[in-house]
Structures are given as structure tokens and as C-alpha cells.
Amino acid sequence: MAVEAQRQTRGSESELGLEFGRRMQPTPQEARIVIQGGQALHGTVTVGGSKNATLALMAGVVLASTGVTGLKRVPRISDIANMATILRGLGVDAVFSEDQKNIRFDATRLTSFEPSDQLVTRMRGSLQLLGPILARQGRVRLAPPGGCNIGARAYDLHLKGLMALGATIDESGGYIFAEAPAEGLRGAQVYLDKPSVGATMNLLMAASLAKGTTIIENAAQEPDVEDLAQLIIAMGGNVVGHGTGMITVEGVEALHGVDFTVSPDRIEGGTFAMAAAITGGDLFLEGANPAQMRPILMKLAEMGVVIEEAPNGVRVMHPGHSLKATDVTAMPHPGFPTDLQQPIATLLSLAEGTAMVTDTVYEGRFRYLNELIKMGAKARWEGRTAVITGVGSLSGADVEASDLRAGAAMVLAGLVAQGTTRVFSVHHIDRGYECFTQKLASVGANIWREDEFGKRVEAV
């Protein structure tokens, strides 16, 4: 069955997919996560701060020309460490607390307008630095940012929006170079062709120090945008309409440092909810915000998972009978998040029936299915839609975490697969999940990390 599915899949692969398929051969000389499947997860997992919100808030820190900004509940992941290094290179003093959960920033003396190329090219979140550096310094030079290889990931809307605020943009030297007019950025009415999370955040930050009023129409409504708007308000800015499709920003002369607590990560919370569901377990997600997770929890409930909301988190239980297949369409918030499209596909690969999964956000986010197929899943895809038919069981295999959320999908598969699963390219997982193996092991998973020589190492 798996071979047949693989053939069908190959038939529909794009050229990019084929290239990807060639690259996706794990080599034994890599660190890996190893899982012996079959353990139901029970207990409590604490959900950390949102990765995407923290990255945006760290960019927002640059806006404060006086005082110190303290961010609390930041996740202990490599993207955050990299962003702190980028900020230090700009002259921002960034100091982590001993437990790494809080960071204090002093951005009063910015000494550079050029974030380090080497780190910027590793993560998409660095694009968020365009707006605040431009607003503070009058100019910014940034290498085109990296991040997960899941589609075109254009940034035209970021540039169009900044141009509407008066910036001139030059990309001729292989960098994005943006300059504000001598009199500074000015408020404008901006309509985003797509509700881009990053473009909304960049404009929000640039507009907060521009002269006059900016209206962002078709703005992203993701909770991460709300966190950033709340930070700017706390810093002395004027923002209304965040959390809706129209955000209005009244620029101010200057912003100041504040203390701010990051929202819990709904994607991490959703991943653990799925881990409880797929293993027939019972997990309490301490600190999770059920209101922000509604699109995820509703989908899991449709699949037969029992959800109980509590004042301090969410309980997710699945008594062990089969999950029911259900169609999933990933779309901008408040739709089902694209960042959980890959993990939920793992659940669907074991559900009763056939489901269609459509990703309206990214055009290239199905290639990980090749890896699930290696484990026995029955799936094929064409363009933005995949069709997944549940099978009775998955078998352990060597698989690749081709990007961050694909890595989570592979770990979920490993938790229930028969035998041993080794997930390679774990650096992708480290970008976005704090202490992933440690947290899973603490609720009963038989999971550990090995170095490139196959030696068991301390879980992180």
C-alpha cells in the first residue's frame, strides 16, 4: 500500500518536490531524535511562550529609545538566541535571566542599521527588523531572510507597505536597503493584498513612530500581532483594531521600555494536544490559552478528542478508540493554522476514513508527506491539497525533519509507530520547540536524543 501511495505521490511531485526528495536522504552522521513508539502520554506539560510573538516582540524592543524592556516567558529555542545575537550586533544590550525564560533589553543606543547577514539568512522572523530599525535609524540594510523551505515566502507586501509610509527601497545590491525621507516616515492608508502576519507587524512597528495616522486594511489577525500591538501600546504608542482586519496606528514621537509577558505558544500547545490525541493519552496543557487555540481544539473535537478548558490551561484526552477523519483547511487566523497542518496530517494518517487537507497559506508545505509515506501512511497531493486515507498503523523508520513543523509531524508519527523511529535534521525542531524531547519524555514518551555517533545525549 505504501509503495503504491509513494508512486502516486511521485507522479504529482513538482520539480521542486523532486529536488527536495533527492536532498531528503538522512545520513547516519547526524544528531537525531529517537523514539520507541507505543506509549500513551499522561500528565502535565507546561506550554512556553510563543516563538513567533517573541521574535516580533524582540524586533519591537528596537522601538524604545528610552528605558529597558523586559520580556517574560520567552521560549528557550535557537531562533530566540539567534535574534538576541542579531540585536546585540545592532548595539542593543540583551541579557537573559539564568533560567533563560526572561530577557532584558536596552535599545537606547542603536549603533548599527545593518543586522548580521549570517543569522538573518537563517530565519524568517528577522524580516520583522525592517520596520523598527527604519523607524529608529532612518535607514536599514537587511539580507533577504531565511526560514523554513515551505513555499515562495515573498516579502513584497512588507516593502510596498513601507514605501506607502514614504520609504525608498533599493534591492539592487542583493540586500534590502530601505531609507526614510529626511522628515521621517509618514502615516498612510495601506491595503495588504494578503493578510500577511510579518507585513502587518512590520507596518505596525514602522507606523508607531511615523508622523500621523496609518490604517492597515486586510491586516493579519493572529494572536502574535495582538501581542506586538499590546507591547507598542504599553511602550506609549497608539494602536487600535489589533485582532481585527483593520488596524489604526497614530504615530508618536518616541516609545519607552516596559515589562511584557509573551502569550503562550498555541502551536506548541496544539502539538502537545495532538500528541495526547494520537497516543490515546490524557495531557493537561498548563498555561495554554484555549481562546487562542479554538480553531485547533474544535478540529480535534471533530476527530473525537475530548477537550476540557480550565482557567489555567486545557486538558486533552483521547480514550484510545480510532480518531475520525475530517477535512482541514489551513488559513489565516482565526482559521486552522498552517503551522499545524503538518502535525494534524500525522493524526489523519491513522484516522478512520479519508480526509482532504488544503493549505491556502503556503504552496509548498506537503513534501514532508514523503517521509510519512515511508512509515506506511497513505497520502498523495497535488498543488495545495493532499488526500490522506487512514491506515491501521505506522512503522518506525529513519525520517527527515525537512522543516520545523514537519519535524513535529515526524515525532508525532514516531510516538505511535511500531518499532523505532529516528528523526534527522533536528536543528529544525530546535528552532521552535523548547525542550521537546524532555517535555515528551516527562509525560511518558520513550524518546531521547543521540549525537551524530549514535551516542545518547542529555535531552534538550
Binding map of ligand UD1 across residues 179-218, x = CB under 6 A, - = no contact:
---------------x-xxxx-------------------
Choosing from 152, 253, 291, 392, the residue that interacts with ligand UD1 (CB under 6 A) is 152
Give least dist CB 226 to ligand UD1, A.
13
Is 403 a binding residue for ligand UD1 by CB under 6 A? The answer is no
C-alpha cell at 249: 496606528
C-alpha cell at 71: 520580556
Distances (CA, A) of 1 to 8, 12, 52, 278, 391: 11, 17, 38, 22, 9
Choosing from 69, 338, 342, 346, the residue that interacts with ligand UD1 (CB under 6 A) is 338
Is 154 a binding residue for ligand UD1 by CB under 6 A? The answer is yes
Choosing from 94, 285, 361, 413, the residue that interacts with ligand UD1 (CB under 6 A) is 361
Q: Which is nearer to ligand UD1, 198 or 414 (CB)?
A: 198
Binding map of ligand UD1 across residues 214-253, x = CB under 6 A, - = no contact:
------x-x-------------------------------
Is 55 a binding residue for ligand UD1 by CB under 6 A? The answer is yes
Q: Which is nearer to ligand UD1, 232 or 351 (CB)?
A: 232
Distances (CA, A) of 91 to 65, 105, 174, 227, 425: 12, 10, 24, 24, 32
Is 157 a binding residue for ligand UD1 by CB under 6 A? The answer is yes
- CB-neighbour burial class of residue 198 (10 A; exposed 0-12, middle 13-18, buried 19+): buried
Is 326 a binding residue for ligand UD1 by CB under 6 A? The answer is no
Q: Which is nearer to ligand UD1, 159 or 275 (CB)?
A: 159
Task: Please give the full DSSP string across 209-245, using - where no structure is assigned.
Answer: TSBSEEEEET----HHHHHHHHHHHHTT-EEE-TTSS
* Dihedral, CA of residue 409, residue 410, residue 416 and residue 422, to nearest 10: -160
Give least dist CB 332 to ligand UD1, A.
7
| Interacting residues of 169 by C-beta distance below 8 A, sequence separation 6+ | 159, 162, 163, 176, 177, 178
- CB-neighbour burial class of residue 449 (10 A; exposed 0-12, middle 13-18, buried 19+): buried
Element of type H or E holding 386: strand 385-389
Is 263 a binding residue for ligand UD1 by CB under 6 A? The answer is no
Q: Which is nearer to ligand UD1, 93 or 156 (CB)?
A: 156
Distances (CA, A) of 102 to 74, 95, 97, 145, 259: 6, 8, 5, 25, 10
Task: Please give the full DSSP string across 100-133, using - where no structure is assigned.
Answer: SS-EEEE-SS---S---HHHHTT-GGGGGGHHHH
Choosing from 362, 420, 446, 450, the residue that interacts with ligand UD1 (CB under 6 A) is 362
Is 366 a binding residue for ligand UD1 by CB under 6 A? The answer is no
Binding map of ligand UD1 across residues 429-448, x = CB under 6 A, - = no contact:
--------------------
Q: Binding-site residue total for ligand UD1 (CB under 6 A)?
A: 23
Element of type H or E holding 159: helix 156-164
Q: Which is nearer to ligand UD1, 157 or 415 (CB)?
A: 157
Give least dist CB 364 to ligand UD1, A.
9
> Is 435 an annotated catalytic residue?
no
Element of type H or E holding 330: strand 328-330
What's the maximum distance between 2 C-alpha atoms anywhere in the chain?
A: 66
Shortest Cβ contact with ligand UD1: which residue? 198
Catalytic residue among 35, 87, 120, 148: 148
Interface residues toward ligand UD1, by CB under 6 A:
52, 55, 124-125, 151-158, 194, 196-199, 220, 222, 338-339, 361-362
| Residues designated catalytic | 148
